[in-house]
Structure 1
Amino acid sequence: YSSLFAEVDYFKFAEFKVNLPVPRWIDPETMTQWQVGFKFTAKAKMKNGRLAEIKGWQDVIWEHDLSTRDEIDPGKQVWKIVSWKINSLTTIETDDWLFEEVLDNVIENTDDLELARQSIHENQVREFLKSRKAGNKFEKPYPQWQVAAGERHPTVSIVDLDDDGFDDFYVQERHGRNLFFHNNGNGTFKEIGRELGLDFNGQTSSAMFSDFDNDGDKDVFIGGSLRRCIIMENVDGHFVNRSGDWIAEDNLPFNTGGATVVDFDGDGLNDIYISTYAAYFAQRAIKALQGDAAVKSSGEGDEQIMTTTDFAVNELKAFMREEDFNKLMPLYVETAEGSTLYRSRPGPPNLLLRNTGNGKFEEHVLPDALRIFHNTFQTTWSDIDNDGDFDFYSANDFAPNYLIRNDGGGKFTDITEEANVADVGFGMGVAFGDYDNDGLQDLYVTNMFSKAARRVTSFFTPGRVNYDADLLNGEGIDPLFEQLGRGNSMYHNNDNGEWSKVSAEGEAMHSTEFGGWGWGAQFADFNNDGYLDLYGPAGYYTAPHDQKRNVDL
């Protein structure tokens, strides 16, 4: 690294961390040398005045000092680095970063800025931890509240509501008041949610603005988590609730993971597809059926509300149509008996609403097999076969994903298996984009990438680097578990219904797997060079050892 350091003025950020390939014993028999992949990442100001992103990959071999061997307290054993091989070191320079954080500059009102910056859930967790430390009882904001954010996340929608040529943004809060920031056209924003009638207080999960009644202005569909979805008409710049009128109450579900506006039948009217997510409700129900008292609750620690098995199993009943809940119950039992909680967890079904005109909607009833009784974080629609209508892919947490082809005439076909894109994992999002400009929509699925999972499963999965058939008597874990921590997946559309996974190990786009704990990565041409790039939000916070709890925050 000395030649690199000679060119760097200063580092703005730099770190070494354990990375792939999976660590392995040089000799599994003696277990005295351990090879580990290290990744170096940095942002730096170079001496030539330019900014740089630096990445390096190296293999490091650690050797056990046998004189320090201590089977009682392995922590006292000494390991020393005996080999350091740099495989690659790349520097990408630019005159300026593409983006900078400017929120403080664009929201002039200090009260509005504080609202835009705050994390209500973080404040609640802080109060929870203070209460625990003081030995006091914590009063939950609502019975289902938990330390982990679970399925309730704040979201942001972008819309030019008043058609003035400037984008506004709408923040949906899980716990507090929703906020609408109007673009003033001079690089600043003003919060006007209450004026518009959009200042709902919590439990909203998504919002899609669209002209549902074809009167020339944008209405809005708002997804609900522990409240029903809402549809609102834009009446002279103020929103009026049309729930129960435009859409029947029974067709406005709870537990919305996301909503998509799409004209699936090509009639010129915008329809709505609603993805639902209730993975934590389902987990409590299934664990209760398995007899696990520890999860028959809606919280954690002393603040747990311990429940009967019957309550845990039926907890979702109040948030679902009776006929749908009756179809979910056998799936609970099947999952509990088959121990498939993390491979095929059931959940409430998704819903497709057809626009019949003048803002009115009716359910377009799909066969149960296509309603996806899982927990869908995101569904994205695109014309994958260039036949003029929109198909869709649903990314499901703790379950296989689905690719559904639109056959026209209101008919759909599940083509997941023949396309080989089920991508079992923790589906957190999905994006379509033609990354190679061949005229066909390719597919990028956001999952969870975990170095720890890949390391651990490498010992128990046949064919992986650390698997020892003799030690395990030829047994091991289901190879499916090895996939769960593999990370994001890129599929190339080969036409004629054929897809190829181009992000697998050894493939040219393998680097696109490494998305961390990803959340809904998206395609966009950020540098206007004619090729789609990727941006992937990522992260869960794992506290230091002395502060950690039994969940990530």
Structure 2
Amino acid sequence: MKTIFFIFFLLLFISNPSHTVPLQFTSVTKEASIHFKHHDGSSGQLYFIEPLGAGAAFLDYNNDGFQDIYLVNGADLPPLAEERLNEEEPPRNALYRNNGDGTFTDVAIAAAVAHTGYGMGCAVGDYNNDGFSDLYVTNFRANVFFHNNGDGTFTDATAETGTGDTRWGASCAFVDYDNDGFLDLYVTNYVKYTIESDQVCMNKGVRVYCDPRLYEGELDALYHNNGDGTFTDVTESAGFSGATGRGLALAWGDYDDDGDMDVYIANDADQNFLYRNNDDGTFTDVSLTAGVGFSEDGEAENGMGADFGDYDNDGRLDLVVTNFQDQTNTLYHNEENGLFSDMSYASQIGTMSLPYLAWGVSFCDCDNDGYQDLFIANGHLDANVQAFNPTGFYEQPNLLFHNNRDGTFDEVGVDSGSSMRLEKVSRGFAYSDYDNDGDLDLLVTNLKGTPDLLQNRGGQNTWLILKLIGTHSNRDAIGARVKVITGNLAQIREVRSGSSYLSQNDMRLHFGLGKHRQIDRVEIRWPSGLQERLEGVEVNQTLTLIEGTVKSSQ
């Protein structure tokens, strides 16, 4: 297996000799004192829930300037659930506090976020604008809302906020969809399933995990923030009554650049949805007219992960979606007129992705050259996949696509350090500059294994990191759009919560600047509509920008 994948990578690398990017990632999980191990509850029963894994989030829960890590765990399933009744500590979620010296300490129990449900995804957002990051965790059966008390601890506010749900939650995100200054919450729900309804499925005479099409899709949920610490379910009145497509992932982004956030939903074995924000509290599904509902061949695919990003720096948000083995990971280019073009093969991502079953994904400028690259987490569902599919492999390497700045990408994982060539069963993915050195580090969650914290050790390009604080807007400034102009290089980023697969990136905005030594202009469009700009900004620094106080206000 390892030899086959290595040869595949090597041949691809030789066929693309133009690659000279010094990307180097090193797994520092052990050195960072991260000892978490994911538990899927499996005991040979092959319950449908087992192989989906869990996500992770970067957040600065104690406002010390260092990004902490929240890791979601699974739980026991029958018969393990009965056998563990007398044990002291069941599997639980972990909150790793960043000590600022390259190490982390698990403080989940002391912080009261050591949840023991069958966890899936998580998202971060300051829902009450008190300056502290709150946390929402999706689960199989019961989601939980953790309110940050501001003293290093959290309180379970699920009942108080009215955001509890006993359906099978997957990805989630905070967003101020109506720009009223308070963060709302969107949750994708997967399928209608119980352990008791689990079915036995076979493929070529061997037991396998069942096809998701055997289970009916669940309706997603949109919770509107009432501004008083409570939320109201507005799913149907907001136009999401048709969002029953087995949702696994979501990505919020203002793809039409009209000042409000739209949302893309990646569905498993069903049409994907693109809901355009109508700026009146409602949404319209435009996935078919925009060309992002089905594959280029008109087929429903197995959407696993999603993200918005401007990979060609034309000022418009493009879209990436990860899919199942033998389906391409799909790269959609935003054509500005409300349409997207499928550039999967033209970008060189399509062919390379076919052998893999992909999950977490994000646009991220890993070498600080000013163009966003793509990282994709891979891993199959079935440990016995070769018994019914000789071309499939359970453990798979993750993929790092370097942006060639001409609309194409090269896969460079084989040349980016031994840690990037590891073959595991990966699921969630998030990025952050956790060590505050100006480049993006990567965090990958692995099914039934420890996560990989990949420290970025390559390159000398310049950079800028921005932390935005809203005053009239929501305090996290989620939905803000920033343009950084340096010479002929212009980049846009948006502040967002929740994307990839079940995960949450560092909400600070990261800009690679190549060899530029001075930033001409930083333009901010806040969710409130206020526009400000800053000129003559120095490179290689982290700036905090407060709405209404930025110099050169216009």
TM-score after normalising by structure 2: 0.59
Residue aligned with 2:275, SS: strand
Q: Distance between the aligned counterparts of 2:30 and 2:348, measured in 1?
A: 40
Counterpart contact for 2:21–2:367, Cα < 8 Å:
no
Counterpart of 1:120? 39
Task: Describe the shift of the 1:417–1:183 C-alpha distance in structure 2 as closer, same or farther (beyond 3 A).
Answer: same
Counterpart contact for 2:113–2:154, Cα < 8 Å:
yes
Residue aligned with 1:223, SS: strand
Q: After TM superposition, give the deviation of residue 269 of structure 1 in Å.
A: 0.7
Q: After TM superposition, give the deviation of residue 508 of structure 1 in Å.
A: 6.0
Counterpart contact for 1:521–1:536, Cα < 8 Å:
yes
Counterpart of 1:40? 8
**What is the aligned counterpart of 2:104 among 171, 185, 189?**
189
**Equivalences for residues 459-474 of structure 1 within 5 A:** none
Q: Distance between the aligned counterparts of 1:365 and 1:280, measured in 2?
A: 21
Counterpart of 2:373? 533
Counterpart of 2:482? none
Q: Distance between the aligned counterparts of 2:313 and 2:347, measured in 1?
A: 19
Q: Distance between the aligned counterparts of 1:548 and 1:40, measured in 2?
A: 18
**What is the aligned counterpart of 1:256 among 150, 157, 169?**
169
Counterpart contact for 2:264–2:273, Cα < 8 Å:
yes
Residue aligned with 2:110, SS: helix
Q: Distance between the aligned counterparts of 1:283 and 1:402, measured in 2?
A: 30
Greater mean alpha carbon deviation, residues 196-205 or residues 512-521: 512-521
Q: After TM superposition, give the deviation of residue 542 of structure 1 in Å.
A: 4.0
**Equivalences for residues 462-501 of structure 1 within 5 A:** 486-501=327-342
Counterpart of 1:449? 325
Q: After TM superposition, give the deviation of residue 188 of structure 1 in Å.
A: 0.9
Counterpart of 2:57? 157
Task: Describe the shift of the 1:205–1:352 C-alpha distance in structure 2 as closer, same or farther (beyond 3 A).
Answer: same
Task: Describe the shift of the 1:444–1:152 C-alpha distance in structure 2 as closer, same or farther (beyond 3 A).
Answer: closer
Q: After TM superposition, give the deviation of residue 228 of structure 1 in Å.
A: 3.5
Corresponding position: 1:425 with 2:301: yes
**Equivalences for residues 277-288 of structure 1 within 5 A:** 277-278=190-191
Q: Distance between the aligned counterparts of 2:233 and 2:67, measured in 1?
A: 31
**What is the aligned counterpart of 1:265 among 163, 178, 183?**
178
Q: After TM superposition, give the deviation of residue 243 of structure 1 in Å.
A: 1.8
**What is the aligned counterpart of 2:230 among 357, 360, 363?**
360
Task: Describe the shift of the 1:369–1:211 C-alpha distance in structure 2 as closer, same or farther (beyond 3 A).
Answer: closer
**Equivalences for residues 357-396 of structure 1 within 5 A:** 357-366=227-236, 370-396=241-267
Q: Distance between the aligned counterparts of 2:340 and 2:21, measured in 1?
A: 35
Q: After TM superposition, give the deviation of residue 395 of structure 1 in Å.
A: 0.2
Corresponding position: 1:221 with 2:136: yes
Greater mean alpha carbon deviation, residues 252-261 or residues 512-521: 512-521
**Equivalences for residues 334-349 of structure 1 within 5 A:** 346-349=216-219
Counterpart contact for 1:398–1:425, Cα < 8 Å:
yes
**What is the aligned counterpart of 2:313 among 418, 437, 455?**
437
Corresponding position: 1:15 with 2:4: yes
Residue aligned with 1:194, SS: helix
Counterpart contact for 1:152–1:203, Cα < 8 Å:
no
Of Structure 1 and Structure 2, the greater helix share is in: 1
**Equivalences for residues 77-156 of structure 1 within 5 A:** 88=15, 90=17, 92-93=19-20, 97-107=23-33, 113=34, 115-116=35-36, 118-121=37-40, 125=42, 128=43, 146=46, 150=50, 152-156=52-56
Counterpart contact for 1:489–1:513, Cα < 8 Å:
no
Q: Distance between the aligned counterparts of 1:196 and 1:16, measured in 2?
A: 42
After superposition, the CA RMSD in angstroms is: 3.6
Matched to 1:268, the amino acid is G
Q: Distance between the aligned counterparts of 2:329 and 2:219, measured in 1?
A: 24
Q: After TM superposition, give the deviation of residue 146 of structure 1 in Å.
A: 3.0
**What is the aligned counterpart of 2:284 among 413, 434, 443?**
413
Task: Describe the shift of the 1:356–1:151 C-alpha distance in structure 2 as closer, same or farther (beyond 3 A).
Answer: farther
Task: Describe the shift of the 1:511–1:436 C-alpha distance in structure 2 as closer, same or farther (beyond 3 A).
Answer: farther
Q: After TM superposition, give the deviation of residue 295 of structure 1 in Å.
A: 5.7
Counterpart of 2:504? none
Matched to 1:530, the amino acid is G
Counterpart of 1:211? 126
Q: Distance between the aligned counterparts of 2:366 and 2:170, measured in 1?
A: 27
Counterpart contact for 1:229–1:253, Cα < 8 Å:
no
Matched to 1:503, the amino acid is S
Structure 2: any 5+ residue segments left out of the alignment? 76-90, 295-299, 395-424, 426-554
Residue aligned with 2:31, SS: helix
Counterpart contact for 1:344–1:400, Cα < 8 Å:
no
Q: After TM superposition, give the deviation of residue 16 of structure 1 in Å.
A: 6.6
Counterpart contact for 2:268–2:304, Cα < 8 Å:
yes
Counterpart of 1:244? 159
Rg larger in structure: 1
Counterpart of 1:62? none
Residue aligned with 1:55, SS: helix
Task: Describe the shift of the 1:280–1:534 C-alpha distance in structure 2 as closer, same or farther (beyond 3 A).
Answer: farther
TM-score after normalising by structure 1: 0.59
